[in-house]
Amino acid sequence: MTSQPATQLEYDRPAEQLTPSIRENETLFRDVFHNCSDILFRPIQIEEQLKLMIIYVDGLIDTATLESIVQKPHLFQDKLQGNLAEQIKKEAAAIASTQSSASTDDVIKAVLKGNAAILIDGEANALIVEIPSYEKRAIQEPTSEVTLRGPREGFIETLRVNTSLVRRKIQSPRLKFESMVIGELSQTIVSIAYIEGIAEETVIDEVRKRLGQIKIDAILGSGYLEEFIEDSPYSPFPQVQNTERPDVTAAALLEGKVAIMEDGSPYTLIVPMTFWVSLQSADDYYERFFYSSAIRWIRYVLLIISLLLPSVYVAIISYHPQLMPTNLLLSIAVAREPSPFPAVIEAFIMEFTFEALREAGVRLPRAAGSAVSIVGALVIGQAAVQAGIVSAPMVIVVAATGIASFTIPRYNFGTSFRLLRFPLLILSGMMGFFGIAFGILFILIHLVNLNSYGVPYFSPIAPRYNSDLKDVLFRAPRWTMHKRPAFTGVNKERLSSSPMPNKKTNQDED
């Protein structure tokens, strides 16, 4: 693990060195931790003299292990061989990772990270003992990325647990975790994960550079990092993938991508990201390729419906009624007769109401949220139709659009299309199909001009990489995917041979 220098902590006093006097060192640290009730100072006297001072954060260390380290030397002081400092170091080194430091800044940072600092009278160095122990969430199935056949484990808020989940899936020394500290006050540990020889060096260097340029007081979630490291912050489309799944992270690393893991967040960021990754689900790779390819195409169709259906309906009703069959047009005209609003205003009212119900369902407690969103949609929709505020066909169109939007696997990617739906509605209400064509053209131009860490966002369609199309337009059989994506570094070979299942060969072996 390669460590980057931590952000310098700022105190009212300049950085100092410890002295051999335990009283002076205690006074210094009590001054620094003034009014910090969770920082404990535990003195230990031997022969009625203060010999040890232990400093730690209550609730962040394993107190039982600490007792076994510091009690033996002074309880059996008549049997000690050598000085007290050496005995303490031996006891600690046998149980936990230890290091010595004479810098007050190093000791302060170590204590705040959940380590114990032992001050010994007559020693100008503090012994830092790594014995962290704090409450953490159990490993559970991610709620934001549900799978039917894949693993049921997800990341939690503890960095070392998350790195171990990835290490279990890629048991190779080429899997690297580089750590750095970001946040002047939070001192958040961020780990950069990649596979040496597969990930492109330029991408790794760019990740290091962008993370190193972040100067902020605290990092409290992966969303903080994402806003600092994406290429085009004003684009509605996300350029950094996030996931709670270790298997998705491991698969991305094997494709040559770089993962950014943060202590305190269950979400891992993955770069580079392309448009098509957001439309792929973990189940696409656990089910048979026929089924996965069919579902993927259904997802593409539903994506287009979620973006364009309300706009197309408004354009046809307002500007191009001749495109509809006569019977259907007459039915819609009869249904819309009581409505006092133009079709575009109807669409805005219903879309806004639908988004409000969706947001209410997310923010309310889970039991109440689902009831409010479902019952609210039924009651409000039915009441609005009966009151003549909106027409029944518009309710059907908005409901179908909402259902289609739920099929997009990535929440933040689906949000992009939810936002783009409104400007397309305006364009369709102003110019009909010409407005829709103009809006789609603008979106496509924007997509082909986006980049994520040097990788074209719309690749492998634009620019086209024929070898990568096996995992975009459809999910090809795994035994045909010989190459990693085009942006991979030196080692592009994923499958050395083509072990295609051969029924005849199997019968011969029997």
* pLDDT 10s digits, 447-459: 999 999 989 999 8
**pLDDT tier, 275 (very low <50, low <70, confident <90, very high otherwise):** very high
Kindly tell me if the per-residue pLDDT of 1 is higher than 60: no
pLDDT-wise least confident of 244-258, 298-312, 327-341: 327-341
- For residue 128, list its beta bridge partners: 99, 117
Q: What is the mean pLDDT of residues 424-453?
A: 94
Per-residue burial over 150-166, b = 16 or more CB atoms within 10 Å of its CB, e = otherwise: bbebbbbebbeebbebb
For residue 359, the tally of other CB atoms under 10 A from its CB is: 12
pLDDT-wise least confident of 178-187, 227-236, 361-370, 403-412: 361-370
Question: Peptide bond before 340: cis, by omega within 30 degrees of 0?
Answer: no
Kindly tell me if the per-residue pLDDT of 83 is higher than 70: no
Q: Which of 24-38, 469-483, 496-510 has the highest mean pLDDT?
A: 24-38
Q: What is the mean pLDDT of residues 302-328?
A: 92
In this predicted model, what pLDDT tens digit does every residue of 194-225 receive, in sequence order? 999 899 999 999 999 999 999 999 999 899 99
**pLDDT tier, 49 (very low <50, low <70, confident <90, very high otherwise):** confident
Mean pLDDT of the chain: 85
Q: What is the mean pLDDT of residues 303-323?
A: 93
Q: For the CA atoms of 190, 193, 199, 204, what is the dihedral angle to 10 degrees?
A: 20
Q: Which residues have CB under 8 Å from 433's CB, separation 6+?
A: 312, 315, 319, 320
CB 279 within 8 A of CB 300: yes
**pLDDT tier, 82 (very low <50, low <70, confident <90, very high otherwise):** low
- For residue 15, the model assigns a pLDDT of 61
In one-letter notation, the amino acid at residue 503 is K
Kindly tell me if the per-residue pLDDT of 366 is higher than 70: no
117: nearest Cα among 55, 68, 28, 58: 55
Q: What is the mean pLDDT of residues 234-244?
A: 94
Distance CA 11, CA 16 (A): 11
Distance CA 263, CA 222 (A): 9
Tokens at 120, concatenated: 């010994």
In this predicted model, what pLDDT tens digit does every residue of 241-258 receive, in sequence order? 999 999 999 999 999 999
120: nearest Cα among 98, 79, 89: 89
For 275-432, where are the alpha helices, taking DSSP H only? 289-318, 326-336, 343-363, 366-386, 392-405, 411-431
Tokens at 490, concatenated: 């030196």
- For residue 237, the model assigns a pLDDT of 95
Kindly tell me if the per-residue pLDDT of 55 is higher than 50: yes
HEC string of 256-307 equals CCEEEEECCCCCEEEECCCHHHHHCCHHHHCCCHHHHHHHHHHHHHHHHHHH
Kindly tell me if the per-residue pLDDT of 500 is higher than 80: no
Q: Which residues have CB under 8 Å from 25's CB, separation 6+?
A: 18, 19, 53, 119, 126
53: nearest Cα among 82, 84, 76: 84
Kindly tell me if the per-residue pLDDT of 331 is higher than 80: yes
User: Residue 189 to residues 5, 199, 249, 262: CA-CA distances in angstroms?
Assistant: 11, 22, 18, 6
In this predicted model, what pLDDT tens digit does every residue of 401-428 receive, in sequence order? 988 988 898 888 989 999 999 999 999 9
pTM, whole model, 2 decimals? 0.85
